[in-house]
Structure 1
């Protein structure tokens, strides 16, 4: 088969798979699972095809989505297609998975913003109205004032939530791409083990600045831009420090050769959510006083 025909056949096959997944995601309960698989055809399309072929594939897929299920499906189609293609293109050019994950997260986040804008300006769906309707689901045992404060806080940290969700979705796509790449003998770059993760020490300065701002201005929070900005940065830094603490624990487990404890720790995070506070403190100490280096030196000394 000529090379051009082979490329066209591959594009047609991947678009067919993507369309089938889009139909399942739109019209069936299997969409809970198939939505996670939607970017994968475009990840491999991005890795193997030229830029013009990718653009035309995204256009065709978006039009098919619009014809099948209207503008909502078209928006989902263009978002997952760009998301997967961006990750695939960076996989093809880089030996590290990190740039692809962050580029994919950026594409997902922009997709969220586009969907919110479309909902507001085309369908007239107001985000504030949605939060207002949430008051109908207040638990009977919760005081109204406490519930209102919770809703206000969720509204305030919505940008941080969208950023974190975008990163999580990109990481999930990376994991599925790795699995599929292994199955079809087309390996995808791997992330370094979590025990080797370490964030810049400067994160501590930003964290303490946020904490001091919250303490000094706690009586003046009024939902302004700066209030929202500080809380959003604080939420994201909490997640980063928790990951740093988790990395330290896994490093210690690996150092002491107690590998059976690693899955126990991961599962415990889901069973006991307050454990994240302890991990966050460990992350602060690890960055602040280089805790893992001290531990490694102590173990080597016996």
Structure 2
């Protein structure tokens, strides 16, 4: 085994990550849970990989059996990305493969829960909200506050129902963004690690080369029309599709605008921190996404290149 010491270290790291799923670090741990199996799977053969992972699963199964299911769930996208790394695929396709796998698993779980267990996501979210309010009101009630405080804040049964409906409506976009964040973060950490171990993994294209297809502008118009045709009925499937489509495209336009600033900085020879500073208002002030739309529709980058000449 060529990397026996580093493999042992990554196995131990994987063990601690899986065990931490039972703690309050769950959300943070989930963001990094793909990294150890990807590093092990890319640098080791199949038998060596199993020899490194199976003992970890046995220990976790004895100490926290439920975490085995989580480990198995995230092992699937890990193996998908391992396959792409072994094939020396472009970074973007590797990231997309990992994100799509995670997203497909989310959808499959919701489908299985709905069909086999009659799982109702709206009811589940609503129950969590009511339980959270109850847990907060109970200790406050002993102090003479409680329900009056929530009434003053406008929190009642109707507002809880509305918030639950909004949460369910935004779920598709949340799943896509969460899947993309895990995949991008994993690649950003795994690529230099694999490089230090002698495995070449393609890097992402620099931010100045980030360009989205112009057809996204038409999709944005379609989403806007769908939103108008829904007639303000937020609970309709059409409204949910339009709402999530527009949100995702708006994030895309922000990315396009950020890429445009990095392009200008590169062409003009500006300090590398300047486009980062310019990206902050793009994120904080959503209307500035119009810069990304203009960059898609008009040849702004070609104009910048010509003016430099």
- Please indicate, yes or no, whether the TM-score normalized by the shorter chain is above 0.5: yes
What is the total number of aligned residue pairs between the two structures?
Answer: 289
Q: Which residue of 2 aligns with 1:129?
A: 123
- Match 1:177 to one of 180, 190, 198: 190
Q: Which residue of 2 aligns with 1:154?
A: 167
1:98 aligns with 2:92: yes
Instruction: Please list every run of 5 or more consecutive structure 1 residues that lacks an aligned counterpart in the other structure.
Output: none
- Match 1:277 to one of 281, 287, 298: 287
> Is the 2:220–2:249 Cα contact (8 Å) retained in structure 1?
yes
**Which stretch of structure 1 is more off in the superposition, 281-290 or 47-56?**
47-56
- Map 1:1-302; keep pairs closer than 5 Å: 14-23=10-19, 25-29=20-24, 31=26, 33-50=28-45, 64-71=59-66, 73-113=67-107, 116=110, 126-132=120-126, 133-134=128-129, 140-142=152-154, 149-215=162-228, 217-219=229-231, 221=233, 223-259=235-271, 260-268=273-281, 273-274=284-285, 276-278=286-288, 280-300=289-309
> Is the 2:209–2:259 Cα contact (8 Å) retained in structure 1?
yes
> Is the 1:157–1:232 Cα contact (8 Å) retained in structure 2?
yes
**Which stretch of structure 1 is more off in the superposition, 96-105 or 178-187?**
178-187
Taking a change above 3 Å as real, the CA distance of residues 153 and 26 of structure 1, as seen in their structure-2 partners, is closer
CA distance in 2, matches of 1:35, 1:152: 26
Taking structure 1 as the reference length, what is the TM-score of the superposition?
0.79
Taking structure 2 as the reference length, what is the TM-score of the superposition?
0.77
Q: Aligned with 1:94: secondary structure?
A: coil
Shift of 1:245: 1.4
CA distance in 1, matches of 2:162, 2:293: 28
Taking a change above 3 Å as real, the CA distance of residues 64 and 114 of structure 1, as seen in their structure-2 partners, is farther
Shift of 1:11: 6.3
Shift of 1:143: 7.3
Structure 1 vs Structure 2 CA RMSD: 3.4
Taking a change above 3 Å as real, the CA distance of residues 107 and 225 of structure 1, as seen in their structure-2 partners, is same
Taking a change above 3 Å as real, the CA distance of residues 128 and 59 of structure 1, as seen in their structure-2 partners, is farther
> Is the 2:88–2:200 Cα contact (8 Å) retained in structure 1?
no
Q: Aligned with 1:258: secondary structure?
A: coil
> Is the 1:58–1:81 Cα contact (8 Å) retained in structure 2?
no
Deviations 1:217-276 (A, max 9, x none): 242525232222222222211111111111112212222222231231344456xx22x3
Shift of 1:126: 4.5
Taking a change above 3 Å as real, the CA distance of residues 156 and 12 of structure 1, as seen in their structure-2 partners, is same
Instruction: Please list every run of 5 or more consecutive structure 2 residues that lacks an aligned counterpart in the other structure.
Output: 134-149
